[in-house]
Each structure stands twice: as C-alpha cells, then as structure tokens.
Amino acid sequence: MTSIATTTTAPPRARKLVGAGRRQWIGLLYVAPAVALVMLFFVIPLGMTAWMSLHNWPLMGEHSFIGLDNYWAILRDTRFWNALKFTGYYTVVVTIAIFAVAFPLAIFIERQRPFTNLYRTMFFMPAVVGFASASLLWSWLLNVDSGLFSPAAYDLGLIDKKFNLLATFQPAFWSIIAMVVWKVAGFTMIILMTGLQSIPQDLQEAAVIDGAGPFARFRAITLPLMRRTLALALILSVAGSILAFDQFYIILRGGPRNQTLTAVYWIFNQSFVSFKLGYGAALSMVLLVVLVALSLVQLWLLRKPEGLD
C-alpha cells in the first residue's frame, strides 16, 4: 500500500519516468544477440550473394568483376533450366500426392473418438524423423539386392527377375514421391486438422438440416472456411519441395543420368563440386527471387478475411 502511495506523489513519478525511459533502452540489449546473429549469418551473406554473383569467384585465387556475365551464362545453361523444370514437376506431383493422402487422414482424426490420439501419433511419427534419415532408410528399402520391395515382389512371384527401382527415371521418381509422402503426410495432416477443427460444428449441423450432402457441405463450408489453413499447408509443401535436396542426393545422387537434379542440387554442384562460387551465387539469386515471390503470394493468400480483423 505504501509503495502505491509514494508513486502517486509528484517528484518520484518524474524520476520513475526517467527510470522507465532508461529501462526501455535496455530492450535493445535484450534483442542484440539475436540481431547480431541474423546480421552475421543472414543479412551479410545475402548481400555477399548479390555481390559475388557479379564476379568470377573461384575457391582459390583472385576473383574478378564481370558484371552480369554470370546471369547471361544462366540464360544459356540448359542443364540449370532442366533442373528447374524438374524441380517444378516434382513440386506439383509431390504436393498433389501429399494432399491426396493428408486430407483424408485429417478428416479421419479430426474428431475426438476412441483411439484417435493413438492413430494421430502413429501417422505423425515419420514427420519427426529427419529427411536424411528417411532417405537413408528408403535407399536401403529400395535397394535391388538387400532391400525390401524388389526382393519381396520377387519372393511373392510378382516379378520373375529382381527389378532395380532406382535404375530408370519413372520408378525412381515415384519411389521418391512415395518416400516423401510417407515422411511429410503426417505433418500436413496436423496443419489441415487445425483448420478443420476451427470450423464451427453448428454450421455443419445447420447444413445437414438444410439437406446438404457430404460433398456439398465439403465444397460450400469446409473448403471456403479452411482457405487460410489450406494456403499455409500448400505454401509449406511448395516451398519445401522447391528446395528439395536431401532425398535426391542420398537416394539417387541426381541420377539416373542426371535426370533428378533439383535446383538446389545444381547450385550445390556448381558451388561446392565445381567451386564456381560466383556462378553458384548468381544461380542462388534466381532461386531467391522465385522463393521471395512465392512468399509474397503466401502473404496475400494468408491475409485475414476482409472485415474480420
């Protein structure tokens, strides 16, 4: 009680304001380590990427300014465009596949019923395993001699000769899709589940009373009310797929015949295998522009519904 009394008298209050002003500045100290790290490992490297992209920059020896030459070279780099094309194709296919599996699962576990939590945990388990672990695991399962799929199919008499899934493009590509869906579907499922749970139950019930069938309800209620969640799940899947590297490096090494080199993989090869750092930086700038454009689309898709702010 006494302390409140003193703060209400004039002189201490003035002093408190000064103290408060000083205290506010201390906030800068609290955020300083974070800002320093972001500067050191994000802002400076970002500036350097732009700077390096204008140079011929070998790992050893002097670098020299060459203006936009790296960018002109990119225009003629058919292998980069092929990598970009493949990345786009992979992104579309894998995103559709993930949604095709994750959406039914989300509906399946949305409502609290016996064993729902157990099922949800099971579906989610591959999502906490790393991409590298999952890729190593599947590279074993997909192996023609020591793996599971090919020998099992052979033992069951489905094929009369062991079939190497990783030797040609189509089976290799679809094997990767299967692996990624296995690994990621649980994650997308949880995101979609939060969207489903945010739809008011009485809205669905009212629609049932009005005689709307399940499909009509899904289209008229579920989808529109889940717009932001759907957009988020979509963006996470698209952004993650555009940056895909681990699974193609570990399981396929970009093969067969370099047909599964992704954009990040190509940049990795140019920068850290061929050590053309300047050229790699220019390629990175292109990737960066694609991703930032995507983020802007994301912000637009995730905007709050009008009038609901």
Interface residues for another protein in 135-174 (CB under 8 A)? 136-141, 143, 145-148, 151-152, 155
288 lies in the site for another protein, by CB under 8 A: yes
Instruction: CB nearer to another protein: give 130 or 305.
Output: 130
d(CA 31, CA 83): 40
Give me the least distance between CB of 86 and another protein, in Å please: 16
66 lies in the site for another protein, by CB under 8 A: no
Interface residues for another protein in 183-222 (CB under 8 A)? 185-187, 190-191, 194-195
Give me the least distance between CB of 135 and another protein, in Å please: 8
d(CA 93, CA 95): 6
Query: Which of 5, 31, 75, 308 touches another protein by CB under 8 A?
Result: 31
Three-state secondary structure of 54-99: CEECECCCCCEECCCHHHHHHHHCHHHHHHHHHHHHHHHHHHHHHH
71 lies in the site for another protein, by CB under 8 A: no
Instruction: CB nearer to another protein: give 88 or 151.
Output: 151
Instruction: CB nearer to another protein: give 118 or 206.
Output: 118
Instruction: CB nearer to another protein: give 32 or 206.
Output: 32
CB atoms within 10 A of CB 277: 20
The pair of structure tokens assigned to 53 is 């992209």
d(CA 239, CA 292): 10
Stretches 71-79, 90-98, 166-174, 243-251: which one binds another protein (CB under 8 A)? 243-251
Query: Which of 23, 85, 219, 303 touches another protein by CB under 8 A?
Result: 23
d(CA 287, CA 6): 61
Which residues face 55 on adjacent strands? Answer: 65
How far is CA 87 from each of CA 70, 166, 248, rounded to the nearest angstrom? 21, 18, 11
Please, what is the Cα angle at 172 between 250 and 81, to 5 degrees?
80
CB atoms within 10 A of CB 54: 19
Instruction: CB nearer to another protein: give 6 or 220.
Output: 6
Picking from 281, 277, 243, 276, the residue whose alpha carbon sits closest to that of residue 262 is: 243
28 lies in the site for another protein, by CB under 8 A: yes
Stretches 71-79, 82-90, 213-221, 268-276: which one binds another protein (CB under 8 A)? 268-276
Binding-site size, another protein (CB under 8 A): 90
64 lies in the site for another protein, by CB under 8 A: no
253 lies in the site for another protein, by CB under 8 A: yes
Give me the least distance between CB of 29 and another protein, in Å please: 7
DSSP-based three-state secondary structure for 276: strand
